[in-house]
Amino acid sequence: MQVTFRQLRVFQAVAQHSSYTRAAESLFLSQPAVSMQIKQLEENAGLPLFEQIGKKIYLTEAGEELLHYSRAITQQLAEAEAVLEELKGVRRGRLDITVASTANYFCSRLLAAFGQRIPQLKISLDVTNREGLIKKLENNETDLVIMGQPPAGLDVIAEPFMDNPLVVIAAPHHPLVARKQVTLDELAREPFVVRERASGTRIAIERFLTEGGFDLNTRMEMRSNEAVQQAVQAGLGLGIVSLHTLELELETHRLAILDVESFPIMRQWYLVHGRAKRLSPMAHTFHDFILHEATKLWHFPGQ
């Protein structure tokens, strides 16, 4: 079977997005160009790789098999490129990083600091939710992941590199803002604006409260940290978020941190990659940079 790397790249994009249109957008190609590449690949394979049911596109059995080998080929080429770059020395290269949406508040600064040391660095940064992070790890689609709670069901190496305190926030006019040592019993009676159930922050909050014998009084669920903060600012309830996300809101007095017993909930940020992942020289250099420099470069709001 004669296949080009371009065809495999297009094939993986269509498989990832389940759409010719979105695959074309991600590759900066026209939809007819994507369709032509897939048609040629199917002709070479002698089997259909996708099937359309309604408006959705699904991989056929042959497509599933080819996707497995296609990813392996892509990984082998990436490793070959990494070895060649290693022979040149770590002066240039590409870094593919995926971070939790909450971690993006400080990750951009860390990447900027790292980039100053390696001016010819090319960075691909994907900011996504917990589900997206786990998918990237499962499919070996990124060099390193920065997240708050490593997945228990995957064979990964997870290394803590920085504290991640969770604090209770309120609108500045909320009655509890002026209080000292708000009890958990009082907190449990307040309505909360929270992240979706799959969120690492949500999981940590519910585990903490359950261990204390309390339930979370959920008024609203949001899929982003920004949405939680905006709802809290509007007075729709209290929130529990990472202190890392509050720099601007605290400086402009849009939000206030409550003084609550047993808070902050102290968590960690982790640098994660698959155990079998062979880090490129650039990824390995960034790995060491994060583990040794992150806490020196970031200061919590108010410090």
* Ordered structural domains, the chain, with CATH: 5-69 (1.10.10.10), 89-162+268-297 (3.40.190.10), 163-266 (3.40.190.290)
pLDDT confidence band for 3 (50 / 70 / 90) = confident
- Please give the pLDDT value at position 299: 64
| Token output for 132 | 């997206």
| Beta strands in 249-303, from DSSP E residues, in sequence order | 256-257, 265-274
Tens digits of residue pLDDT in 91-108: 567 789 999 988 888 888
Query: Cα-flanking dihedrals φ and ψ of residue 261, to 5°?
Result: -60, 145
Q: Which residue has the tokens 């790292």?
A: 114
Say if residues 240 and 205 touch (Cβ distance below 8 Å).
yes
Encode pLDDT of 180-224 as tens digits.
Answer: 999 988 888 899 998 888 787 888 888 888 887 888 888 888 888
Q: Is the pLDDT of residue 174 over 90?
A: yes
C-alpha distances out from residue 50 to 4, 11, 24, Å: 18, 10, 16
Looking at residues 283-295, what average pLDDT do you find? 90
pLDDT band at 251 (very low <50, low <70, confident <90, very high): confident
Lowest average pLDDT, out of 116-120, 169-173, 261-265, goes to: 116-120
Across residues 256-279, what is the average pLDDT?
91
Least confident of 57-66, 80-89, 99-108, 170-179: 80-89
Tokens of 125: 């940064």
> Can you give the pLDDT at residue 85?
64
pLDDT in the model for residue 282: 84
Task: Give the pLDDT of residue 238.
Answer: 93
Of 110, 149, 144, residue with least CA distance to 129: 149
pLDDT band at 143, cuts 50/70/90? very high
Cβ partners under 8 Å of residue 39, min gap 6: none
Q: What is the pLDDT of residue 290?
A: 94
Q: Mind listing the pLDDT tens digit for each residue in 31-56?
A: 999 999 999 999 988 999 999 888 78
Q: What distance in Å separates the CA atoms of residue 81 and residue 211, rounded to the nearest whole number? A: 49
Q: What percent of the chain has pLDDT over 90?
A: 42
pTM: predicted TM-score of the whole model, two decimal places: 0.66
Q: Name the residue among 119, 133, 149, 136 with its Cα closest to residue 282.
A: 119
pLDDT single digits (tens) 222-233? 888 889 999 999
Whether residue 86 is predicted with pLDDT greater than 70 in this model: the reply is no
User: Is pLDDT of 80 > 90?
Assistant: no
Q: How far is CA 11 from the centre of its chain?
A: 24
The pLDDT score that the predictor gives to residue 301 is 53
The pLDDT of residue 34: 92
Task: Give the pLDDT band (50/70/90) at residue 303.
Answer: very low
